[in-house]
Amino acid sequence: MLDFSQLARQLSEFSTYRAEEEYRRQEQLRQALQQFHALPEPAVVNAHVKEVNPSWLVALLREPASRVYPEVARPEKISVVATDGSQIFPDRELEPTCYLLNIGRVAFHYGTSEPPLMESIPELHYREDELAVLFDDLNPTLTTELISALRDEQELRQLLNTAKDVRKGWPLVALADGTLIRWMLRKMQYRDLEERFIQRYTALLNGFQEEEIPLCSYISAPASTEVINVLRVFNQEYPGAENKGAISFAGLTDRRLFEHLLKPGERSAIFESSSHIQRAYGEHAICFFYLYAGAEVARVEFPRWVADHPVWVDWIHAVLLDQVRKGAGYPVALAEAHEQAVVRGNDRELFYLLMERQMRHRGFGGVRLSKKQMAKRIPRA
């Protein structure tokens, strides 16, 4: 148990530290806002960033950084499709080895009498395909990353299929959860496999583009600093700069900046990510804006070809505001897709129970458990 008599002094010191940090952050923010409003035109900003070539991830400007767009009206008729995924990872202490992907998909149609779609699609993987044969040569952490990447891929594939399945004659927006920049794929340290995933990912993005389906993703509580890093360049925080600013902007997030630049319902200008991870994306380089949605400022991402269609960007802006209001602070379609996808503890136990029954029905001895797993399942007094 905690010794609160010892902890009380530490909590008091932490409270003092937090107050000092908040004061420092407020001064950072004040100067960052001044620097933001003093930024030159986009061509000058982008050229200067390219010349400095900092090691940080710095946003590219497609339009004046300080431009703000007011709330726009949602089309009277519109469909919103969303997917989310969950999984049961392989258990190396369980034989035979297998894993489960469960993709939830939903489609809501507004301004029409068209019924909604809400379902989950489970996929049990156990055969040794071109990816599975690599698992035994990789460590458990990497195996988890591989399956997470497969789940992300299936989420996007089902999103495309769902959009094509339910599309009618009115506008449609396809909504994903989390970033469209596949950071995970460059952390596998297995280049051939990374490249295969990237090729399959861009093929799916091609599908959205060819079908003219506006794709976007919603990032709640974003921790990105790409816009702040533009300010750091002009604040001369990079090595070798002669006239560095009096205060560094390091530690500030874009979200905190736009909390002071936007009003509820408004969105920022469109920026483009300069991440080297997406160099193989071609036309699908990821753009983003910040949206004051309900009680938070969220980051909204979409491919460059979506950014090139202002009407699609307006649909995304309007739909996300409407979704957040319907979902009490979070897009309702994503929340429902999550509910369809999530694999809870009881689901996991039932999954193994059904597997064992099937094995016994086939005349096998059931699912083989390691001594460690058996010990976990034996009730203790």
* Residue-level pLDDT at 372: 44
Region 71-94: what's the mean pLDDT?
A: 90
pLDDT digits (tens, 9 = 90+) for 151-167: 999 999 999 999 999 99
CB atoms within 10 A of CB 146: 22
* Residue-level pLDDT at 9: 86
Is residue 163 one of the residues assigned to a domain? yes
Return d(Cα 321, Cα 109) in angstroms, integer. Answer: 16
* Residue-level pLDDT at 142: 43
CA-based R_g, the chain, Å: 24
Among candidate residues 284, 250, 188, the one with its CA nearest the CA of residue 55: 250
Is residue 22 one of the residues assigned to a domain? no
Region 180-209: what's the mean pLDDT?
A: 84
Average pLDDT over the chain reads 88
Band the pLDDT of 96: cuts 50, 70, 90. Answer: low
Is residue 23 one of the residues assigned to a domain? no
Is residue 283 one of the residues assigned to a domain? yes
Coil, strand, or helix at residue 62? coil
Residue 287 Cα distances to 6, 254, 266, 284, 305, angstroms? 49, 14, 17, 9, 9
Residue 178 Cα distances to 183, 187, 276, angstroms? 11, 17, 19
**Number of helices followed by number of strands (H, E) in the chain:** 12, 13
Is residue 73 one of the residues assigned to a domain? yes
Return d(Cα 217, Cα 175) in angstroms, integer. Answer: 5
Region 11-19: what's the mean pLDDT?
A: 87
pLDDT digits (tens, 9 = 90+) for 334-356: 999 999 999 988 877 787 777 77
CB 188 within 8 A of CB 196: no
Distance of CA 37 to the CA centre of its chain: 29
Is residue 225 one of the residues assigned to a domain? yes
Domain holding 161, by residue range, is 68-345
* Percentage with pLDDT > 90 across the chain: 62
Q: What is the CATH number of the domain that holds 316?
A: 3.30.2170
Is residue 21 one of the residues assigned to a domain? no
Return d(Cα 51, Cα 359) in angstroms, integer. Answer: 64
Higher pLDDT, 355 or 370: 355
Is residue 87 one of the residues assigned to a domain? yes
CB 235 within 8 A of CB 28: no
Band the pLDDT of 366: cuts 50, 70, 90. Answer: low
Q: Which residues contact 187 (CB under 8 A, 6 or more apart)?
A: 145
CB 278 within 8 A of CB 256: no
Band the pLDDT of 265: cuts 50, 70, 90. Answer: very high
Return d(Cα 262, Cα 265) in angstroms, integer. Answer: 8
Among candidate residues 123, 116, 108, 129, the one with its CA nearest the CA of residue 158: 123
pLDDT at 179 over 80: yes
pLDDT at 72 over 70: yes
pLDDT digits (tens, 9 = 90+) for 287-335: 999 999 988 999 999 999 999 999 999 999 999 999 999 998 999 999 9
pLDDT at 57 over 70: yes
Q: What's the total number of domains in the chain?
A: 1
